[in-house]
Structures are given as C-alpha cells and as structure tokens.
Amino acid sequence: MMLTASVALVAALVESGKLRTRIAVGVGTVGRIGPADLSDATGEAFEVSGRLLALMPRGKSLAVAGPWVDPFHRALFDMADFQSSRWTKKQAEAIAFFMVPDLVREAADKPESQARIAEVLGISQQAVQARLAGAGYANLRPALDAFESHDWGRPA
C-alpha cells in the first residue's frame, strides 16, 4: 500500500488546502521503529528514505527508492506525482474518497460508487465523475494496482 498511501496523503493535503509536501518512500529492511516517533528508527528503509528526501528536486512530491525498487516502481511513482501535482481541491476531494482503505478496491467508474460519494459531498454523480476524470483517476487506478501487486517479499 506504499503508493496508494502516498497518493491518499497527497489527495488529503491538496483537498484541505494545506501546503504540499514531499514524500520519499524507502523500501528495505527495518531495524527498529522508535517508541514515540520515527526520529530514532533504524534500518535500510529509513536510511534510503532520508537520502532520497534530501536529493528530491524542487517541484517533485513523490519518490521511491531502495534495493528492491526497479525502474518500473519509480515510473509508477513518477506518474502518480505528475498526475497529483495538477489536482484541484475538488478533484483531490473526489480522489481521496477512493483512497480510503474500505473503498480502495471499489471501482470509481461505477455510477453507484460515484453516487455514494456524490451524496456525501452534496453534488451530482456526474460532478463526481467529472472530478475523477479531470484528476486522471482512470489512469491512476491501474498504476496503483500494478504497484501494490508487487511481491515485496522478494527483491525485484
């Protein structure tokens, strides 16, 4: 759920109007997770993430690195970064609903799914459909599924 969680966070931040942030995902072993926060966490995943964050160019919001990450994984993160950098608040709001764990496998192109979200947002199903289309959800969902289907138990 690394890419999905990252996209969900970006969507929530854009929708809330808060500053965008950079998210550097490190894939690797974990030695220890700190008892109160991640400041004293150890392991390859945290080291890779820290280095990646320091090297991320200006304007980039999402990146992934690590010994098990290949060009395919980086390309999917880059695609999600590109797509999400163009979202309006309303598009991000619609996307955020489909990033919630209970809905993550629900098809956003189903009118009944869009109708449920429309009811919550107080808008029409067609407006939800338009927001998702404008946000590029039809291309984003297969990228998320492809990334998340990788067996991280074995190196790429």
At 10-20, the pLDDT tens digits run 999 999 887 67
Domain annotation covers residue 153 = no
Whether residue 67 is predicted with pLDDT greater than 70 in this model: the reply is yes
| pLDDT confidence bin for 117, thresholds 50/70/90 | confident
Could you count the other beta carbons within 10 Å of the beta carbon of residue 41?
17
Average pLDDT over residues 97-102: 70
Cα separation, 90 vs 150, whole angstroms: 31
How much is the pLDDT for 104? 45
For 107, left (φ over 0), alpha (ψ -120 to 50), or beta?
beta
Distances (CA, A) of 39 to 35, 50, 67, 116: 9, 11, 22, 40
Domain annotation covers residue 155 = no
Domain annotation covers residue 95 = yes
Cα separation, 128 vs 118, whole angstroms: 6
Domain annotation covers residue 114 = yes
Average pLDDT over residues 100-106: 55
How much is the pLDDT for 120? 85
- Residue 29 sits in which domain range? 2-148
Domain annotation covers residue 156 = no
How much is the pLDDT for 153? 63
Query: Dihedral sign, CA of 112, 83, 97, 142?
Result: positive
Q: Tally the domains of the chain.
A: 1
The pLDDT tens digits of the residues spanning 25-54 come to 998 878 888 777 777 778 888 889 999 999
Domain annotation covers residue 79 = yes
pTM of the full predicted structure?
0.82
